[in-house]
Amino acid sequence: MKKLLVLATIVSLALFSCKETTDEPPIDQGSTYLASTTPMNRVAVLEDFTGVRCGYCPDGHVRAKVIEDALPGKFIIIATHAGGYAAPAAGWANLISTGGTAVHNQANPAGYPAGTINRMTCLSLGVKAMDLSRSNMTMDRGQWSAAANKVVTMPSPVNIGAKAIYNASTKEIAITYDLYYTADETDPNNVNIAILQSGIITKQSGGTPDPNKYDQKHVLREMPLGSWGEVITTPTTKGSRVKTKTFYYSVPDFYNGSDAITGGGASVIKNMNVVIYVARGQKDIITALEVPIK
């Protein structure tokens, strides 16, 4: 027993920022899984490429909110601050993230605001690409609604179940998820996590009603599993479960520095959500789930 305690201590000291444990219930307790076994349609995910110095970007935020209201529980907004209008500059908040920058660079937008819906091709969604010479999946804000409404009619081959619980004493979020495949999925699948925060008050070009006190919502703070997540190595065929996993994410006091003007602002747990999504590699998000942090 003493040796086991020593080993556990060594392991716990080696973990940092994002830790993982697994806990698979016995087969006869399958009901304890979080994911539903009932086939469902996809959830639409907008990765909105935006920036604090982009004068037209608040219009994109408004349009995204309209879609969210029209598709309750079926549409997730990830405000991805990246590109030239989001780059650090004197007097402007820095809301960029490493993961968001990588996703933005893959999308390669020709202007702002721009976005991808589930990282699917515009052709497959029946909408016009912003600039096909740069990307076949990036579209302007006028295309988001039609694309999102198309996605939510598509069957998803996988269901996600998840919950997120914050421990104030350790400043960690325990993010627990599992998956259930309702159809065969032959392409390699990746699972990823995004930490979002709303209620961040910054200066925003074009912001209303006060451009100096603009409420930034759905801001991508971090992707704890990296820009493209982790490859699912267990079977992804119909009836397969991906066993329950828990990741422990250490929440920093601030993102991009504590300066209220040029930093990224403080972490406020009550304003933060967690998104878990499954994609085919780096593209084609086949579904997603957003959960509050309790």
Whole-angstrom distance, CA of residue 272 vs CA of residue 189: 26
Residue with structure tokens 């993230």? 97
State residue 6's pLDDT score.
Answer: 35
User: φ, ψ for residue 226 (rounded to 5)?
Assistant: 90, 170
Token pair of 55 as six digits: 């004068």
The alpha-helical segments, DSSP class H, found in the chain are 2-14, 57-70, 98-107, 122-125, 144-151
> Options 1.20.1050.140, 3.20.20.70, 2.60.40.10, 3.30.300.130; which CATH number does 14-292 get?
2.60.40.10
State residue 16's pLDDT score.
Answer: 35
Whole-angstrom distance, CA of residue 64 vs CA of residue 233: 34
Domain borders along the chain are 14-292
The pTM of this model reads 0.90
State residue 24's pLDDT score.
Answer: 40
State residue 32's pLDDT score.
Answer: 82
Asked if residue 282 lies in contact with residue 265, where contact means CB atoms within 8 angstroms, the answer is: no
Query: Could you report the average pLDDT of every consecutive run of 10 residues in the chain (294 residues)?
Result: 35 41 39 90 98 98 98 98 96 97 98 98 98 98 98 98 98 98 97 98 97 97 97 97 96 92 95 98 98 97
Q: How far is CA 217 from CA 28, 130, 164, 171, 264, in A?
A: 42, 24, 19, 22, 13
> Any bridge partners for residue 160, and if so which?
179
